[in-house]
Amino acid sequence: METSPRIGRPRDPGKDHAVLVAARRLLREVGYQQTTISAIARRSNVSAPAIYRRWPTREALLEDAVHGPGAHRLPEATDDLRADLATWVRVFLSRSASPAARAGVPGLLADIRTDADRARLLSLQDPVRAAFTARIELAADRGEIPGPVDAATLFEILTGTTSIRGLTQGGAGADAFVAALAGALYVLAAHGDELAVEVKESES
């Protein structure tokens, strides 16, 4: 059984980066099943025990490689909500359309067997969800859109739609898709009070 590193032992971020880069490249080159810890260790020059000290399972490592906050830089807020929504759509589409995501996500979803697995996968989106929610709330505070706004539903639409599009079609027709989805999200955000009421009624 692997033992934990000594208390106070510094963690080398360079090794973390090397492992994640190796995992993404292997997903792209050989696919999900062949992207094993042994293969990642060989490619990254980081030992398997060192990898397991950082990630408890292969699935946790691959989830971080595909979905982790370090995989893609989050958009910064500007004074134009519609433009910002387009940037968010493009970022999420790029994430889902990446070779690593298209190779890894179907396998990761197939390997989810417990509530803990689902919770771990969802938790990777927490920083991204918080950043998106903050941008929507900022727009409401500025008077760009009326409040209250159901940012959670907007985020689900953003992530779900871009995931399906990216995984099934890659980056084909990206510009038109980004413009269409960003426009739809803006309209929904501008009618946020109505959206919130409809969601509450559907849940009751």
CA dihedral 150, 155, 156, 160 (to 10 degrees): 150
Angle between helix 81-97 and helix 126-142 axes, rounded to 10 deg: 170
**Tell me, what amino acid is at 19?**
V
Same domain, 41 and 91: no
Same domain, 61 and 90: no
CB atoms within 10 A of CB 84: 22
pLDDT tens per residue, range 32-53: 999 999 999 999 999 999 999 9
Residue range of the domain that includes 173: 81-203
Using DSSP, state whether 166 is helix, strand or coil. Answer: helix
CA 195 to CA 204: how far, in whole Å?
14
Same domain, 101 and 57: no
Q: Count of domains in the chain?
A: 2
Same domain, 60 and 85: no
Same domain, 99 and 173: yes
Identify whether 195 is part of a domain. yes
CA 54 to CA 70: how far, in whole Å?
15
Same domain, 61 and 88: no
Identify whether 74 is part of a domain. no
pTM score, whole prediction: 0.80
pLDDT tens digits, the chain, 204 residues: what are they? 334 444 445 667 789 999 999 999 999 999 999 999 999 999 999 999 999 999 999 999 999 899 875 556 788 999 999 999 999 999 999 999 999 999 999 999 988 888 887 887 778 788 899 999 999 999 999 999 988 889 999 999 999 999 999 999 999 999 999 999 999 999 999 986 665 555 555 555
Same domain, 125 and 39: no
CB atoms within 10 A of CB 60: 17
